[in-house]
Amino acid sequence: MLQPIIGFHLDEESHWVADLACGHGQHVRHNPPWTNRPWVVTETGRAAMLGHLLQCKRCDEEPALPAGE
């Protein structure tokens, strides 16, 4: 299910995670040559991706989290 990005945070290993509107998170690593996401390494790049839709695999498997969780 496609979900918009509403924010970002760093996980315990300092990898960027996109916060999705459904309440789930998704790693958005820049790891060339396998994953090319140079926008994730700058604040400006991340801000430009707010609202961008990502496929949430967890939503495909389970319902969205209640608001505030």
Q: In this predicted model, what pLDDT tens digit does every residue of 49-64 receive, in sequence order?
A: 999 999 999 998 876 5
Residues 11-39 pLDDT 10s: 999 999 999 999 999 999 888 778 889 99
What confidence score (pLDDT) does residue 11 get?
A: 95
Residues 6+ apart with CB under 8 A from 54: 2, 3, 4, 5, 18, 20, 26, 28
How is residue 24 written in tokens? 């789930």
What confidence score (pLDDT) does residue 10 get?
A: 96
pTM for the full model?
0.81
Rounded to an integer, what distance in angstroms lies between the CA atom of residue 23 and that of residue 59?
Answer: 9
What confidence score (pLDDT) does residue 7 get?
A: 98
